[in-house]
Amino acid sequence: MARPASPAPIRDLDVLNAHLDALVALDPRLHEVRAVSGEVSLRPGQRGFAGIATIVNAQQLSVASAGAIQKRFEALFDGQVTGAAYLAHPEDAIRGCGLSRSKYATLAGVAAAERDGLIDYDALEVMPPEEAIAALTALKGIGPWTAEIYLLFCLGHPDIFPAGDLALQKMVGVALGHEERPGEKLVREIAEDWAPYRGAAARLFWRYFAATKEREGVAL
- Show the domains of the chain with their CATH numbers: 13-43+159-213 (1.10.1670.40), 48-154 (1.10.340.30)
SS3 label, residue 44:
coil
> Which of 61-65, 77-81, 130-134, 139-143 has the least mean pLDDT?
61-65
Which tens digits make up the pLDDT trace of 130-187? 999 999 999 999 999 999 999 999 999 999 999 999 999 999 999 999 999 999 999 9
On whether the CB atoms of residues 145 and 51 are closer than 8 A, the answer is no
On whether the CB atoms of residues 33 and 205 are closer than 8 A, the answer is yes
Closest of 84, 151, 144 to residue 113, by C-alpha: 84
Q: What is the greatest pairwise CA distance in the chain?
A: 55
* pLDDT of 1 strictly over 90: no
Is residue 72 very low, low, confident or very high in pLDDT (cuts 50, 70, 90)? very high
Hey, CA dihedral for 145, 56, 154, 25, is it positive or negative? Answer: positive
What contacts 158, CB < 8 A, 6 or more positions away? 6, 7, 8, 9, 10, 19, 196, 197, 198, 199, 200
What pTM, to 2 d.p., does this model score? 0.91
Q: What would you report as the CA-atom Rg of the chain, rounded to the nearest whole angstrom?
A: 18
Residue 220: predicted pLDDT:
52
